[in-house]
Amino acid sequence: MARSGSLSDFERRLVAQRRDDDRLDREQRRQDKEREKARQQEQVEARQREAEEKTAALQEQVKILEEVLTGILPRPALTFERLMATPKVPPFDPGELGQVTAAPSWNEFAPVPPQGLSRLLRGRYQRELAQARARLAAAEAAHKQREAQRRQALAVAKAGYDQKLTQERARAARRNASVAARQSAFAAGQADAVEWFAGSLLKASRYPDGFPREHQVSYQAQDRHITVDAELAPVSVVPSVRAYRYVQARDVIEPVPRQDGEIRQRYDRLVCCVALRTLHEIFTATPAEAVAAVTFRGRVTTVDVATGKPSRAQLVSVSAGRPVFDELVLAAVDPQACVARLNALASAG
């Protein structure tokens, strides 16, 4: 009977153990499932953030294009003074060559005096003194040689710096003499000086990446009229993607295309903004007695699909006299309507 009861207790313990094992196994699977779910959720959120960040970068790019005109209105106009050069050489930095190393000290070599008064100790101490003096003399000679080499290298480095500074000052002086001469010629109304200054301010104007900088400037002194022929950015400067979205089912970030009509609308507006910006930059940087009117003609280089050859199509042409242009509130105008109005006024005149 005891044996039978003992076996029954064993079986109960075995069942209980299996039940505990099953419970632990279920708990482990539940935790694994929750961890996997959390990992997948983190991955989804990370991919969504990536899509949002790419979209934000895209929107910033579009915003920069939208502000091609209005973004430069607060900037000060270019002047001849700002075209002057200053030497761009930082102060001389000798680096490690400017660090003088400490000379050897007798304390580094001096032997410890003997404690006793025996002749043997005194004799050994005298020998140690002689050896220490010899080592000190050698260290001093080596230090003197290193210092001489350092001073020589420092002198060479300083001479090189002085030469560079002299060259940079001479370059700046030549540049400034040239600018001053052009300023005098500009004041006298010489066409080449006016063209140079207008070209310089257009060259200094900062545009977003992807914009060409080619332009030609001509000046008719009798009419005080500047004409700018410029290369425009291609339509591809407007992003063909409107946004990015994360597709969880396929675990991909895919672009949301921008409609062709929107691309063309944004590009046409951008072209007009460039035209108005050019007129603004020239009028604000030149006096009325030098420039009375400005014409901007913008062209873009494309490939003729019929011939496969490069083709330069004129996309915009706008002219304005200074009094009419000065009346504009560029921060509030519709660029396309403004260009149309200026051309209408020019035709009527």
What are the boundaries of each domain within the chain? 1-50, 77-188, 191-348
Position 247 pLDDT exceeds 80: yes
Residue 1 reports pLDDT greater than 60: no
Q: Name the residue type at position 96.
A: E
DSSP 36-86: HHHHHHHHHHHHHHHHHHHHHHHHHHHHHHHTTTGGGTTSPPP-HHHH---
Phi-psi region of 189 (alpha: psi -120 to 50; beta: other; left: phi over 0): left
To the question of pTM greater than 0.85 for the whole model, the response is no
d(CA 148, CA 154): 10
How far from chain centre, in Å, is Cα 269? 27
- Judged by average pLDDT, the poorest of 6-20, 192-206, 207-221 is 6-20
Distance CA 114, CA 120 (A): 10
Cβ partners under 8 Å of residue 48, min gap 6: 246
In angstroms, the CA 200 to CA 179 distance is 11
- Tell me what pLDDT residue 2 has: 46
C-beta separation of 136 from 50 below 8 A: no
* Eight-class DSSP state of 214: -
Which residues does residue 228 pair with via DSSP β-bridges, in sequence order? 217, 296
Question: Quick check: helix, strand or coil at residue 100?
Answer: coil
Query: Which residue is listed with tokens 């200026």?
Result: 342
Report residue 300: phi and psi, to 5°.
-130, 140
In sequence order, which residues have a C-beta less than 8 Å from that of residue 148 and are 6 or more positions away?
A: none
Mean pLDDT of the chain: 89
pLDDT exceeding 90 applies to what percent of the chain? 58
Tokens linked to 318 = 């706008």
Cα-to-chain-centroid distance, residue 200: 22
**Cα(104)–Cα(240) distance, integer angstroms:** 72
Q: Which of 22, 69, 104, 29 is closest to 205 using CA atoms? A: 69
Which DSSP string corresponds to 160-185?
Answer: HHHHHHHHHHHHHHHHHHHHHHHHHH
Q: What is the pLDDT of residues 277-331, one digit of tens each?
A: 999 999 999 999 999 999 999 999 887 777 877 778 889 999 999 999 999 999 9
Q: How confident is the model at residue 11 (pLDDT cuts 50, 70, 90)?
A: confident
Average pLDDT over residues 56-76: 94
How far is it, in rounded angstroms, from Cα 116 to Cα 122? 8
pLDDT, greater one: 299 or 28? 299
Beta strands in the chain (DSSP E): 215-220, 225-231, 241-247, 252-257, 293-303, 310-321
Q: Which residues pair with 294 in a beta bridge?
A: 226, 320
